[in-house]
Chain A
Amino acid sequence: MDALWVLVPAGQRASGEWIDDTLRARAAEKGLLGRSPRAGEFPRQRVELVRGADPVAAVNRLYQERGWTDGLPIVPPTLGRVDETVAAGGRERHVALGEVAPLAGLATVEKVAANAVMAGCEPAHFPVVLAAVEAILDPAFNLRGVQTTDENVAPLLVVNGPVAKRLGVNAGWGALGPGWPANAAIGRAVHLVMHNLGGGWPGAVSFAGLGQPGRYTLCLAERDDSPWPPLHVELGYRPAQSTVTVLRAETVINVTGGLDEVASVMGSAASLFGILHSGKPGVILSPLTARRLHADGWTRATAREALFARGRLDAETWRRSWIRTAVRATDWPDWAVEAAEQGAIPAVREPDDITLVVAGADLPIPQHAYCPSWGYPPCRVTREIVERGQGS
């Protein structure tokens, strides 16, 4: 017999209740206890001791049966690993970053650290996780909406500044694909926080119809060799600062080609929710395209203006759209209604609503992505990443 001292990663409210009691009731109502047969069955304490011939496997089995994982194996949040992670965050373990919607588990530094360890984070990743969690707790992010909507939205994390290279947050080959520990673990940590502290259990609290792979992780860095000033500098930070910027991404649509192809996808039904909510979508631009545009005298601003000008949804398509005919006949924003009268609606209210990120491999056949937004209010939340002992 061996044993592991592990933190309980579940959400506890300021009032002392554990959100798992609510989750068990919801899961039972929905016939979902097959996923988490032991939901709510755990010592209502900070730590527990898990014994077994193979305690790592025992923790994994327990956590899975209690509904605490995303389906993949987790790293046991042992006291030692969590302590190292908390220390790397540079903040006192009991500090509460806020309540995680919708079930209001407290995101204390220690609880976030436990979930980060489970996600596979190294201690050095933790300052990024803390900044990202602070960002999704910003009321502008509308975490309640993200967690409970039937749409498939997920937080898209964009890391800028020196921390990206130091931690190996990939901005190049396959930046949104598998194979990169920092991208994989940091994004997964944020999702486990949403899952375990906010209670976003699929089918029980979270009603996303199809979901998306970005709900496992959706995290990349911006390339530091972009010809333009980086995103965080454009947003008012200094180059030496590091930041994480969070968008609500309904999905990630690959677009191979040039700016016109990106605009064409933006001017499609993919942008209907974005128009309805005056949302702030993301556009990931290939390095080659950015370089060519820059050589021709384009800036980030003129690239956005071009996308704004060319990415227009035909008014007739909008009028006949499912969302307008079946769900929302009225209360579309004035700017969209007025544009429709002119024949076409831009994908966003104004060019600055587009968040431009230069990332991906430097391929001769450029690949981009359009990340349409979902939900109120318009959201692009940036937080500085403060590494231990490196305040700015």
Chain B
Amino acid sequence: MLRASAVAERAGVPTASLVCEGFIGQAATTSTGLGLPGLATALVPGHVDVQSPDELRRNVAAVTVDAVIRNLTEAPAAVGGAVVEPGPNDIVFEGTFDEVNRYYYENDWSDGLPIVPPTPDRVAEFLRFCDRPPQTELGVLLPDKRRATVGNVAVNGVMAGCRPEYMPILVALVEAMADPRYGVEHSGNTPGAETLIILNGPLIKELGFNYEQGALRDGIQANTSIGRFWRLYLRNVAGFLHHRTDKGTFGNTWRVVLAENEDVLRRIGWPTIADDEGVSGGNAVTISRYTGGGVIASVFGNTPVQMLPYLADAIVGKVGWELLFTVGMGVGSQRPLLILSPILAETLAKGGVDKVALKRRLFELARIPAAKLEKYVGEWTNFVPGRPKLTDLVKAGHIPAVFAESDDPQRPVPLVCRAEDLMVAVSGDPLRTNAYAFAHNGILGYPTTKAVRLPADWARLLREARAR
């Protein structure tokens, strides 16, 4: 909400932002990041969702209304001055390994695990793997509004335990993070969804990414350290910190990089995730935020007809309140991800199902009663106020006609607006008949794909790095 207020204030329109009690601290830091540290907020006591209409009315009348009037009628206090931060080449600390780690941890620069001290030598080694100078700006990241640069990518890469040759991937990841389509500013929202990075291209093998057994488990340096880099960068550059800018109610640990099994994809003629997202023909990263996921074990059958109902049901089982992003906020931005083990993908392909057909079949099969979807977004939650009927939303032109093929409350409706909104990746143990499904966070972390740019003398640099 503060972001909307900031836009209005910049346009010269006074604002009052109603902020629930639990968010006041975050509002102060967020408004600073927005460049309007004095942004006027009006406190709403407690949490509105657990108050009766009478309690809410009393609270608003006693506290909020007065603040709104003051917000709109009084000039905000002038807040000026510059925030002083260490320069990109400053030595911020000298000491032993243990001391460096304590210093970084106590100053909120670490996630609690030991970091590799980002010494000038180590950072320089990373910078060799990028043809652009360290001061190159890759974007400006909310909430702290700090500049993302090639240099601070290298620093966080060192800290995360990456190898220097991962640098081109790290830079591409931060370019994706800074892309407005992704929406990094939402990374501290209360459902606490976590990003999954999907890697495509020859780098998977060149850099030793795991794409087989245990594809989503820590333990392989490339997959693991780059996943850790992602969260360190959110912490140290974007500025998401526990109990302050981060309001994720639970959150979860960072996810390791998912690399696709491109040998299998080539063999069955299926496009990669990057191909599907329009970045073909090389190395690419795709980032997307998922609220949660889980495994679907032991998919039984040797034909698509036998296998598809279970796979479709797996997606149904994962997506609940997230349907908000299908029909409410950011209509059509729900992009569930289904990861198939290679043997499942190969069996489907053998049965004549290509990736487009697979998505179409899943779109048809993964359906729930219209009344249940309406409950998720308008009754059990209050995401879409006024409990609108899907039929009315279709009539108003907000969502596709598929949601109102009749007015029977029990009619099956899809989870996404279009078949191609479903994403399908192939990875994991090649010979196990298991799959994995993720529910997606919609416009608050929309899939964003970036090509990975390699330095001009990549082959030589990589050879040298491997020799060290």
Contact = CB atoms under 8 A, between A and B. Distances in A.
A382 B93 CA distance: 44
Contact of A21 (B79, B84, B244): B84
Interface string B70-104: 00000000010111111000001101000100110
A227 to B, nearest CB: 39
A345 to B, nearest CB: 35
Contacts of B144: 16
B29 interface: yes
A113 to B, nearest CB: 14
Nearest to A19: B81
Interface string A1-45: 001010000000111111001100000000000000000000111
A16 B83 contact: yes
B83 A15 contact: yes
Contacts of B86: 44
Contacts of B99: 3, 49
A45 B79 contact: no
A14 B28 contact: yes
A49 B83 contact: no
Contact of A18 (B37, B84, B106): B84
Nearest to B77: A104
B106 A79 contact: yes
B244 to A, nearest CB: 6
A17 B79 CA distance: 10
B32 A15 contact: yes
Contacts of A17: 81-84
A95 B25 contact: yes
A328 interface: no
A352 interface: no
B37 A46 contact: no
Nearest to B27: A14
Contacts of A18: 84
A94 B82 contact: no
Nearest to A48: B103
A47 interface: yes
Nearest to A108: B25
Nearest to A7: B106
Nearest to A96: B25
Main secondary structure of the interface of B (DSSP, over half): loop
Contacts of B31: 14
Contact of A47 (B29, B37, B103): B103
Contact of B106 (A14, A44, A47): A47
A94 B243 contact: yes
A354 to B, nearest CB: 31
Given A49-B93, A94-B244, A14 B108 contact: no
22 contacts: A5-B102, A5-B106, A13-B37, A14-B37, A15-B32, A15-B79, A16-B83, A16-B144, A17-B81, A18-B84, A21-B81, A21-B84, A43-B92, A44-B84, A44-B86, A45-B92, A46-B107, A46-B108, A49-B99, A49-B103, A79-B106, A96-B25
A316 interface: no
A92 interface: yes
A96 B86 CA distance: 25
A17 B82 CA distance: 6
Contacts of B244: 94
Contacts of A3: 99
Contacts of A44: 84-86
A5 B99 CA distance: 10
Contacts of B28: 14, 96
Contacts of B37: 13-15
Q: Closest 6 A-B residue pairs measured CB to CB?
A: A15-B37, A14-B28, A16-B83, A15-B32, A47-B106, A17-B81
A46 B106 contact: yes
Most buried by B among A15, A79, A94: A15
Nearest to B38: A15
Interface residues of B, number: 25
Contact of A45 (B82, B83, B102, B107): B107
Nearest to A93: B243
Nearest to B36: A15
A229 B37 CA distance: 47
A47 B243 contact: no
A43 to B, nearest CB: 7
Interface in A127-186: none
B107 A47 contact: yes
Contacts of A22: 81
A92 B241 CA distance: 14
Nearest to B243: A94
Nearest to B242: A94
A185 B25 CA distance: 29
Interface string B9-34: 00000000000000001001101100
Nearest to B30: A14
Interface in A73-125: 79, 92, 94-96, 104
Nearest to A25: B81
Interface in A235-259: none
Contacts of B95: 49
Contact of A92 (B102, B103, B243): B243
Most buried by B among A3, A18, A43, A49: A49
A126 B210 CA distance: 52
Nearest to A95: B25
A291 B31 CA distance: 57
Contacts of B243: 92, 94
Contacts of B102: 5, 49
A14 B25 CA distance: 9
A94 B32 CA distance: 17
Contacts of A95: 25
Interface in B236-260: 243-244
Given A14-B28, A14-B32, A17-B83, 19 more contacts: A3-B99, A14-B29, A14-B31, A15-B32, A15-B37, A15-B79, A15-B83, A18-B84, A21-B84, A45-B92, A45-B107, A46-B107, A46-B108, A47-B106, A47-B107, A49-B103, A94-B243, A96-B25, A104-B79
A7 to B, nearest CB: 9
A351 to B, nearest CB: 31
Most buried by B among A16, A18, A46, A47: A16
Nearest to B95: A49
B462 to A, nearest CB: 37
A14 B32 CA distance: 7
Interface in B87-129: 92-93, 95, 99, 102-103, 106-108
A79 to B, nearest CB: 7
Contacts of A46: 106-108
Nearest to A99: B28
Contacts of A92: 243
B68 to A, nearest CB: 18
B242 to A, nearest CB: 8
A205 B25 CA distance: 27
Contact of A13 (B25, B79, B93, B108): B79
A43 B94 CA distance: 13
A111 to B, nearest CB: 13
Contact of B32 (A16, A45, A49): A16
A22 B79 CA distance: 12
Contacts of B84: 17-18, 21, 44
Interface string B21-64: 00001001101100001000000000000000000000000000
Nearest to B107: A45
A18 B82 CA distance: 9
B202 to A, nearest CB: 42
Contacts of A79: 106
Contacts of A104: 79
Interface in B244-284: 244
Contacts of A96: 25, 28
